[in-house]
Amino acid sequence: MKINKGIVYLVGAGPGDIGLLTVKGLRYLEKADVVIYDFHLNAQILNYIKHDAEFIYAGKRGGHHTMTQDEINQAIVDKANEGKNVCRLKGGDPFVFGRGGEEAEVLVENGIKFEVVPGISSSVAAPAYAGIPLTHRKYSSSFAVIPGYEDTTKENSSIDWSKLATGVGTLVFLMAVKNIDEVARQLISNGRPGDEPVAIVRWGTRPEQVTLTGTLANIAGLVKEKDIRPPAAMVVGKVVTLRERLKWYEDKPMFGHRVMVTREHTGGFEELEELGAEVMEFSTIKIVPVDDHTFIDKCIHDIGSYNWIVLTSVNGVKYFFDRLMETGHDIRELKGIGFCAVGEKTGDAIRKYGIRVDLVPKKFRAEGLVEAFSGVYKNEGLEGVRILLPRAEVAREVFPDKMRALGAHIDTPPLYKAIKPEIHGKRMQRFLKERKITIATFTSAATFNNFCEIMGDDAIEYLNDVTIAVIGDVTKNAIEEKGLKVDIVPEKATIEEMVNAIITWAGSKGR
């Protein structure tokens, strides 16, 4: 049987800020069977792939290559020949010092279809995030992007320094840090003034972005003094003087913070990103349906006998209505039943099914639920009131026990459970070791305990210097029992309130 060849997408992932990935790039990434990716991109992008794609790391970092270019080319060809859609995911733009042109040539030679999805190059993004426009009507009407790693003393250089030095308004050198003294010398000796403004932007668009300014005459000394290392972009030109007025990214209130999120998905944390933080998803918990649906199915069969259905989370809403439909029932059978939602997010999820929420307790804990129902039945009491509480497989018994003690009948069928996902923590370990995580969030004791299991014996040490934010006293107690300090606990047990508390904490600390 002949296998039709797959297609290859050469996708630029941008320089680091995950938000700079294009819509088209994301679409092709989501449909890829194989993703071959580099080091200099935000690996959080890979979280957008929800199916079982094959990942091949082809990283190139500081001259250390996991795969040679020939091996990368062969891997792309081999996977496409297997009939798979291949996403060749590259930092920045594939055709700007990304060797995407060479890879495209190989694909043509092998009769493999391909598409190119341009990415935002660090040559443009790093200066922009540092507040430096490459062109400006009063300062520069042209710019050039030049590799900075070439030996400037070699014969037959591909760079004509005599024309470059004075023929272009703004110069952007990539990968020039190790060679910066020679780059500056060549520009000065070929007519660029020694007092020409220069900026070095390291890790542009990321929380650890550092911008250093000087002149052609002194920039090499400043780079050594401040120990600036690759990767960095070098910008030469009068536009650099605009930085003090136009810098915006580094002035954001949460610039410099990288927040680790240990639950599935990062919904609710967007405000932190808008304020300059980077949110890193490292899910230590996965929500799945329970294995045995006997109890919940019986309750659904008798659904009309209940006075109330209590749903305590968005997950509970999803899995309850999924099971309702899967068993051949529908929402018409819920007529006359009161709905209680723990938290506004849960209430919003219920309303999406066209169902009114009748009760939302003021306190998002078991004690708050007891108070809410006692208030509803303060005159006639709870005797004979039937409540359905579909919930997680492992849950506290405070509310059910109290309601039974007050005379109510309550069924608590397990609906979903939390499991530890099959992930490795090597990349997160590196970020924690290098002190690149400033805030860690835990939404339950399970997210913390699973984190410790994944990280191994050094888990607690990794968190010693990290600000810890949690939801709920149970989570706080689980963490403090391990000898760690919990810094942020919102009054209300919601993601929104935790995010607000993190913002308040960051504002109180300054930068």
Annotated catalytic sites, by residue? 38, 60, 175
- Interatomic CA distance for residues 466 and 487, integer angstroms: 9
Helix (H/G/I), strand (E/B), else coil: 159: coil
Instruction: Kindly give the pairing relationship between strand 113-117 and strand 338-341.
Output: unpaired
127 closest CA partner among 182, 202, 225, 181? 202
Q: Are 296 and 413 in contact (CB under 8 A)?
A: yes
Q: Are 148 and 174 in contact (CB under 8 A)?
A: yes
Most distant CA pair in the chain: distance in Å?
Answer: 96
Helix (H/G/I), strand (E/B), else coil: 419: strand
Token couple for 338: 């009161």
Q: Are 233 and 252 in contact (CB under 8 A)?
A: no
Find the angle CA(278)-CA(284)-CA(290) to the nearest 5 degrees: 135
463 closest CA partner among 444, 482, 490? 482
**Given phi > 0 = left and psi -120 to 50 = alpha, else beta, which region is 347?**
alpha
> The dihedral of CA 169, 174, 178, 179: what is its sign?
negative
Q: Are 97 and 44 in contact (CB under 8 A)?
A: no
| Residue located via tokens 């960051």 | 506
- The single-letter code of the amino acid at 301 is H
> The dihedral of CA 255, 258, 263, 264: what is its sign?
positive
309 closest CA partner among 362, 350, 366? 350
Q: Are 117 and 12 in contact (CB under 8 A)?
A: yes
Token couple for 365: 């804990």
| Residue located via tokens 């014996």 | 457
Of how many residues is the chain composed? Answer: 511
Token couple for 270: 């967007």
**Given phi > 0 = left and psi -120 to 50 = alpha, else beta, which region is 354?**
left
Q: Give the other-Cβ count within 10 Å of 60's Cβ.
A: 17
Backbone angles phi, psi at 53, to 5 degrees: -80, 155
Residue 396: partners with Cβ closer than 8 Å, 6 or more residues away: 366, 474
Q: Are 10 and 90 in contact (CB under 8 A)?
A: yes
**Exposed/middle/buried for 325, CB within 10 Å: 0-12, 13-18, 19+?**
exposed
Q: Are 502 and 259 in contact (CB under 8 A)?
A: yes
